[in-house]
Structure 1
Amino acid sequence: MLELKDINVYYGAIHAIKGISLNINEGEIVTLIGSNGAGKTTTLRTISGLERTKTGSITFEGKDITSASASNIVSLGISHVPEGRDVFPKMSVKENLELGAYLRKDKAEIKKDFEKIYGLFPRLLERKEQMAGTLSGGEQQMLAMGRALMSRPKLLILDEPSMGLAPLIVKDIFNIIVEINHSGTTVLLVEQNANLALNIANRAYIIANGEIELEGDAKELLGNEKVKNAYLGG
């Protein structure tokens, strides 16, 4: 479904991504794991058209999207939930969700998707008229995910969905990620909690210093000594 070949991204003189290649098959949950500053978020932003690669190519469902605009990439079926959630604080929950469907014209189907999102996240239904800035961190994460799903993505990109959340809320969020995947959406997940991510993923890539250090079946990597020592607390 998605293929990155030899991606190199720079921030001025800083070489942030160094020749990364990876692929995601339809229906998978794939996770990128690495320490802070390893290049995970930059990789996601490059897929979404928010950063540009100097070399290589990015293809999605056989189409070259290397130079596509961020809005064009959304219209092709990729939605990105950024680190830190980035909800619109002075707009209501409902208005935030409506913005997720800004490229769509199918009003009847949009209405169905509202019901679907409220089914996945009942708390958003309870708070639909509430300003997004007054929600708890967990509710804002649910809203950011719901907003991304309103564009009906084929590929959902999640950057650190558990960041700053209480363990019980994190468990809920991860159960919902699995549910979203089972309903037909492919997921690319960046997550500091490597143990949680590897437990729900099909495959994983380990990134260090802007390069892929290791890749493989997620369950096998859970048992890998190097991964255990570096990311799973030994």
Structure 2
Amino acid sequence: MKLLQLKNIDLYYDGIHALKDLSIEVKKGEIVTLIGANGAGKTSTLRAISGLHPIKNGTITYNGKDLKKIPANKIVSLGLSHVPEGRKIFANLTVYENLLLGAYLRKDKKEIQEDLIKVYEKFPRLKERLKQQAGTLSGGEQQMLAIGRALMNRPDMLILDEPSMGLAPLVVKEIFDIIKEINKSGTTILLVEQNANMALSIADTAYVLETGKIVLSGTAKEIANNDSVRSAYLGE
């Protein structure tokens, strides 16, 4: 079942044609990754899905609903959570306050507490630092907090933009193990990632973007074994 479908998307930034006739789909339960160089249009694609940047042409359908007609603050309520590039945590608030903000649309207080416990189980370090200001956390802990906050929305689909950015290799492995665990628990994942090796190692499906266009798509294994991809993105 197609959970998310982008069809013939055109998006402009200040007159620049950032996405050009772009089409992708994400099936329920999958991990799908978008790879490409800086400026290829990966973040623009995610911002279009989340309603943070309007598209000029094309359609974006999530769970049968036309997202083009829904404002960004309402898209979250459909079960779509976005962990943005750079984490965008609230540095002056505590870890606990950041997590609660992820559930701001919810009224089910008992279930919110149950979900907090699940986040603590996934990220024990966050539980140890609940009263600590989020801005004092390490980069890896801030990324865990950003993911934990998104999970507090109980999403059917989690969009992750560069979760490994600026993190040490051991922390990157830990973050990717958690992403796999979240997916196994039933959450669909759309992942944008500079670390193409890591992204392709956990994904089911992959798309390669160049200057706003999809130039290659297939299973993650097929993309990882493609000679041009290996040369351009995998350092081989």
TM-score (norm 1): 0.99
Q: Which residue of 1 aligns with 2:187?
A: 185
What does 1:202-213 correspond to in 2, within 5 Å? 202-213=204-215
Q: Which residue of 1 aligns with 2:99?
A: 97
State the Cα distance separating 1:162 from its structure 2 match.
0.2
* Alignment RMSD: 0.5
Q: Which residue of 1 aligns with 2:118?
A: 116
State the Cα distance separating 1:194 from its structure 2 match.
0.3
Counterpart secondary structure, 1:35: coil
Between the two proteins, what is the percent identity of the paired residues?
65
- Equivalent in 65, 68, 71 of residue 66 of structure 1: 68
State the Cα distance separating 1:71 from its structure 2 match.
1.2
State the Cα distance separating 1:67 from its structure 2 match.
2.6
The amino acid that maps onto 1:26 is K
- Equivalent in 134, 137, 140 of residue 138 of structure 1: 140
Is 2:155 the counterpart of 1:153? yes
The amino acid that maps onto 1:128 is L
Counterpart secondary structure, 1:66: helix
Query: Could you list the runs of 4 or more consecutive aligned residues of structure 1 that deviate by over 6 angstroms after TM superposition?
Result: none
Provide the rounded CA distance (Å) in 2 between the counterparts of 1:195 and 1:2: 24
Once the two structures are superposed, residues 45-87 of structure 1 have per-residue CA deviations (whole angstroms, 9 ceiling, x without a partner) of 0000000111111001111111311111100010000000010
Q: Which residue of 2 aligns with 1:224?
A: 226
The amino acid that maps onto 2:157 is L
Deviates more, 1:219-228 or 1:23-32: 219-228
TM-score (norm 2): 0.98
- Equivalent in 37, 40, 59 of residue 38 of structure 1: 40
The answer on whether the counterparts of 1:162 and 1:170 sit within 8 Å (CA) in structure 2 is yes
Provide the rounded CA distance (Å) in 2 between the counterparts of 1:83 and 1:13: 23
Once the two structures are superposed, residues 155-185 of structure 1 have per-residue CA deviations (whole angstroms, 9 ceiling, x without a partner) of 1000000000000000000000000000000
Is 2:134 the counterpart of 1:126? no
Q: Which runs of 5+ in 2 are unaligned?
A: none
Q: Which residue of 2 aligns with 1:14?
A: 16
Provide the rounded CA distance (Å) in 2 between the counterparts of 1:233 and 1:28: 26
Paired residue total: 234
